[in-house]
């Protein structure tokens, strides 16, 4: 594999001596058009965008992302709409990596091979599948790699050392570390120092892997974790969309303003 866009992005942020900023939004929240506008608008400040394909029984997501997902589904978002949002975004921002994130049943119903082909056509750079853990995900991860798509492995505080080694060894260009025992959007219940301690232990297994931290990251907590290779903010953004809709304000402007603040906190 040539150096992937994801790898190149981390190289760049490391040169700038800061973590990469990753955002998670649900595709089609709250409409197809709005969600694309949000992506385009925040892309100035972010390094990688994670785009969720909404599912109605998300077993690892907290209230904020559930609300976003239900909203998108209610507005009629289909999986092909998710691909079209991603591919339209990629047309205007060629150098921004896009990672699709979701639950396995949707890939299974679409058909694994067809799904990967469609990712390729839509210029998707990576995939995160929440409920397809290692080692069950190995065959799928290999298929992804063959098509030049990064399969992002997840690790968590409960992952045993033995598993960690194997997962890191089989991982592609990016690994996602879940900061604490929680669904998405939980309050950071572990001290950032403790999280970084564990994080560095994992990093020491292979310094070349780009490991990002997610779960519980907000405007308040992001600065304390800036030593990581990358940081993911999801629920805080989904919450902002919800609030904007409630207050009848422009979600694009509000979300962009939050993302800009997040970026400023980790800039050097």
Partner 1 sequence: MKLKKKIPLIDQHDKFGFWGGKFGGSFIPETLKNPVEDLTKEFQKLRKNKKFIKQRDYYFKNYIGSPTSFVKLKILSNYLGGAQIWAKVVSEANGGAHKIYNATVHALICKAMGKKYIVGDTGAGYAGKMLSMAAKKFGLKCKIFMGAKDMKRQKPNCDAMRKNGAEIVPVYSGSQTLVDAVSECMRYWVSNCDNTHMCVGSTVGPNIFVKICGWSTSQISRELKVQIKKEFKKIPKKIKLINCVGGGSSAYGFWSEFIDYDKKHIELVGVEAGGPKKSKLHAAPLSRNAKIGVLHGAASYVCQNNEGQIQETESISAGLDYPGVSPIHCFLKDTKRARYTFATDEEALNAYQMVTKFERLNPSLEPSHAFAEAIKIAPKLSKDTIIIVNSCGDAKKDRDILKERLGKKR
The binding site for partner 1 (CB under 8 A) comprises 55-62, 66, 70, 73, 78-79, 103-106, 108-110, 130-134, 136, 154-160, 163, 178, 181-183, 186
- Minimum Å gap between C-beta 234 and partner 1 is 14
Q: Which is nearer to partner 1, 26 or 178 (CB)?
A: 178
| Distance separating alpha carbons of residues 24 and 176, to the nearest angstrom | 13
Catalytic residue selected from 47, 61, 81, 229: 61
Q: Which is nearer to partner 1, 67 or 254 (CB)?
A: 67
> Can 50 be counted among the known catalytic residues?
yes
The tokens for 191 are 């001290």
Catalytic residue selected from 29, 47, 50, 81: 50
Q: Which is nearer to partner 1, 8 or 183 (CB)?
A: 183
Q: Which of 176, 185, 177 is nearest to 233 (CA)?
A: 185
SS3 237: helix
| Distance separating alpha carbons of residues 79 and 28, to the nearest angstrom | 10
Rounded CA Rg of the chain? 17
Q: Which is nearer to partner 1, 3 or 109 (CB)?
A: 109
Q: Which is nearer to partner 1, 5 or 154 (CB)?
A: 154
- Minimum Å gap between C-beta 68 and partner 1 is 13
The tokens for 169 are 């060894």
| Distance separating alpha carbons of residues 138 and 1, to the nearest angstrom | 18
| Distance separating alpha carbons of residues 128 and 154, to the nearest angstrom | 8
82 conformational bin, left if phi > 0, alpha if psi -120 to 50, beta if neither: alpha
- Minimum Å gap between C-beta 105 and partner 1 is 4
- Minimum Å gap between C-beta 77 and partner 1 is 9
Distances 230 to 90, 122, 142, 214 between C-alpha atoms, Å: 21, 24, 24, 9
> Can 61 be counted among the known catalytic residues?
yes
- Minimum Å gap between C-beta 125 and partner 1 is 21
Q: Which is nearer to partner 1, 148 or 186 (CB)?
A: 186
- Residues with Cβ within 8 Å of 259's Cβ and at least 6 positions away in sequence, in order, are 21, 23, 42, 45, 46, 233, 237
DSSP annotation of 186? -
- Minimum Å gap between C-beta 158 and partner 1 is 4
Alpha helices in 75-180 (DSSP H): 79-92, 104-110, 112-121, 138-146, 161-170
Would you please indicate which residues are annotated as catalytic (active-site) residues? Answer: 50, 61
């Amino acid at each position: 594999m040539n150096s992937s866009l994801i790898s190149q992005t981390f190289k760049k942020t490391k040169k700038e001596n800061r973590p990469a900023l990753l955002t998670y939004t649900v595709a089609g929240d709250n409409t197809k058009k709005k969600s694309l506008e949000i992506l385009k608008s925040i892309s100035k400040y972010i390094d990688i965008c994670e785009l969720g394909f909404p599912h109605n029984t998300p077993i690892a997501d907290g209230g904020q992302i559930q609300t976003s997902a239900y909203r998108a589904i209610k507005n009629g978002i289909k999986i092909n709409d998710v691909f079209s949002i991603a591919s339209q975004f990629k047309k205007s921002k060629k150098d921004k990596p896009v990672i699709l994130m979701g639950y396995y049943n949707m890939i299974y119903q679409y058909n694994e091979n067809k799904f990967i082909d469609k990712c390729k056509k839509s210029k998707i750079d990576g995939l995160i599948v929440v409920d397809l853990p290692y080692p069950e995900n190995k065959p799928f991860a290999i298929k992804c790699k063959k098509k030049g798509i990064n399969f992002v492995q997840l690790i968590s505080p409960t992952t045993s050392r033995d598993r960690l080694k194997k997962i890191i060894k089989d991982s592609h260009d990016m690994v996602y570390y879940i900061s604490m025992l929680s669904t998405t959007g939980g309050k950071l219940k572990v001290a950032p120092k403790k999280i970084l301690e564990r994080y560095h232990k994992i990093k020491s297994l292979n310094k070349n892997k780009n490991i990002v931290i997610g779960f519980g990251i907000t405007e308040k907590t992001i600065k304390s974790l800036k030593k990581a290779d990358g940081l993911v903010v999801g629920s805080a953004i989904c919450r902002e969309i919800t609030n904007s809709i409630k207050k009848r304000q422009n979600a694009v402007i509000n979300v962009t303003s939050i993302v800009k603040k997040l970026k400023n906190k980790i800039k050097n």
